[in-house]
Structure formats: C-alpha cells, structure tokens
Amino acid sequence: MTKVAVIGAGSWGTTFAKVLADGGSEVALWSRRSELAEEINTFHRNGDYLPGVNLPKTMSASDDISKVLASAAQVYLSVPSQSLRENLAEWGHLIPKDALVVSLMKGVEKDSGLRMSQVIAESGIDSSRIVVVSGPNLALEIADEQPAASVAASSSLDSAKLVAAAATNSYFTTFTNTDVIGTEFGGILKNLIAVAIGIVNGVGYGQNTKASIMTRGVSEISRFAVAFGAKPTTMVGLAGLGDLIASSESPLSRNHKAGEMLGKGYSKKEVLARLSQTAEGLASVSTILELARAKGISMPIVEQVELVIEGKMSPKDIAPHLTHETEEPQGE
C-alpha cells in the first residue's frame, strides 16, 4: 500500500484523496482547520466542501503538516495557485527527498507568470519528480463516483505512470503523457473560456453563442499553448478540450459560476465575495494576456473577458464574433 499525502482539504483536494484511497493507497490529508480534520476522522465526511459524500475509512486527516508528509511516497498539492510559493517556503523542506510531487492546481503565478510545476521546481524539486494532473475534474461528480478520466504528465514517464497507477480505481482512470506544458496550460486556459461561457449564459444568450465561443476558444488557447511549447494533440485531449467542455457548462464549475454572475451584472468584487472557493480563471486572465502579448499571440475572447471583469465592457457585448479573423484557420 502506497503512502500518499494530499495537501489541501477543499473540494478538489478531498475528492482526489478519496480517489487515491479508493485506488488502494494509504492517504493522509492536510487541513488548515483542525475542526475539519476532526470531522473527516470521526464522521468520514467533509460537509463544507463535499456535502453528502462518504469518505473512505482508509483516509485520515490532520492539521499537522509534518505528520501528513512523513514517509509519503507521493505528495499531492491542492492549494490556491497564488499561495503555492509561500506554502512551499514554509513547509517544502518537510517533503521526503525521494517523493513524487504532484500538482492538482490549475493556475499561473500572478507576478512571475510561472506554471505551478515551475514554481515547484524553483523550490528545489527535480523536474523528474514533478507530475501534473489535469482533465475534466468537477469534484462533486467524481466524489459521487461518476466515471471520469484525467491525465498525469511528467518529463519522466516513469513518474507519470506511478501517479497514474495510484490515481486509478473503478470509477476514475488516469492516463499518462510527457507534455507537461500542454497539460498544465490546458487546465489553466480552459478556465478563461469557461468564464466567457458563464458570462454569455448569465446574459441569457443561447447555444449558438456558447458553441461559437467554445469552438473559437479551443483555437485560441491552442495557439497560445503551442507557442509556449505544448503539443497540439494535448489541447484536444482530456487536459484541453475535455476539461473545457466540463468547465464551460456545468453549474459545478467555479469559473462558469463566476462568469455567470458577471453576466448578470455583479462586479468582480461581488463575485469574489460570493464564491466559497477560488475561481482560478479570474486570477489568471491578466497574467495570461501579458504572456500572450509578449509573444504576439491574439486572444480576443480572453481580452474581452478581462474587459468584462474590469467593468470596462458590458457583458451583453461579449459575442461569438470575438476574433478579428475573417476566415476560420484550416485545422482549427
């Protein structure tokens, strides 16, 4: 039985801990709050984030991170992307020297523009020990054991395979690839398109508008990811198109929900106050556009999302004609 640690007891961290436990691993989950850890240990529930879900008895939780990390062969990180560097500076030295470090996060660091695997690497973890997991990952559906799949990516295929083996069970399958850049950017960029779809849904536009934005959105995020070294095929796989479809329409998607509130006229400040968890799309949009402009990449949909977030464009003005191109590029 593999001993694994999951850092972060929000909806996704707790869900993935369940996936790992149901796959046969011995799982220790770190919670910031001692009362939540006690609830998980005593009642096998996380009522704040996964109401109605029974958690495996092979899962334990603690607010003592040194206890959670001790002897872990794999360490899964599920903390807000903007606090990852600070967290690693505080307790990164407690991660066992030979442990695989797995990012469950989908965001870019605001000040540096770095992906989460790059932030982890800057903390001193060798790239061969870093794995990223991404895909259509709506936590409540997976916690409810509805069949789903994801992908584990690493520069070391052996590391990716070890994580895929741990994160596979009767209802959840994890595939592997070595395209870390594409897998991470797929998870990051789909959030921005999901916000756009949420906005038009909040305005009241129908399926034609949403289908147009989603389809052109795939083209837009693919251009960006490939320019930064991703493989085009990754963007039409689980980490790209698969994640985009799940996040763009589901009321379980925080990014969709954030966009929908913007479409209904709420300000960014009001949206953030009403969300119980982080919508990474709102945090990442400006940084992604800075990276795009530095490489001369056109991202008209994301640009208009930023204008809506900043209150500089009426949500009803976001529409399918979000590109200056008059001809759809072949193969897109």
Residue 33 tokens read as: 């709050």
Residue 192 tokens read as: 């921005």
Q: How far apart are CA 25 and CA 8, in angstroms?
A: 17
Partners of 134 in the β-ladder? 151
Query: What is the per-residue DSSP string for 153-173?
Result: E-SSHHHHHHHHHHT--SSEE
- Please say if 106 is a catalytic residue: no
CB 163 within 8 A of CB 131: yes
For the chain, how long is the longest CA-to-CA vector? 60
Buried b (16+ CB within 10 A) or exposed e, 260-270: bbbbeebeeee
Number of residues in the chain: 332
Task: Given the residues 18, 190, 210, 257, select the one marked as catalytic.
Answer: 190
Q: How far apart are CA 130 and CA 103, in angstroms?
A: 8
Measured CA distances, 209 to 212, 247, 304, 312 (Å): 5, 16, 15, 21
Residue 299 tokens read as: 């991202």
Measured CA distances, 65 to 6, 90, 147, 264 (Å): 10, 10, 31, 41
Using DSSP, state whether 278 is helix, strand or coil: coil
* Those residues with Cβ within 8 angstroms of residue 92's Cβ, 6 or more apart along the chain or in another chain: 123, 124, 125
Which helix (H) or strand (E) segment holds residue 62: the answer is strand 59-62
Measured CA distances, 236 to 149, 284, 327 (Å): 14, 21, 21
Which helix (H) or strand (E) segment holds residue 225: the answer is helix 207-227
Which residues does the annotation mark as catalytic? 190
